[in-house]
Amino acid sequence: MNRKAKIKEKIVCFCYNVSETTVIEAIKGGCKSLMDIRRETYASTGCAGCSEEVKKLLRKHATEDSSEDGETEESKVSNG
| Site residues (vs ligand FES, CB under 6 A) | 13-15, 43-50
Judged by CB, which is closer to ligand FES: 43, or 57? 43
The nearer residue to ligand FES, 32 or 45, going by C-beta atoms, is: 45
Cβ at position 32, least distance to ligand FES in Å: 19
Q: Where are the beta strands (DSSP E) in the chain?
A: 11-13, 18-19
Q: Which CB sits closer to ligand FES, 26 or 50?
A: 50
Cβ contact 69:63 at 8 Å: yes
**Rg from Cα positions in the chain:** 14
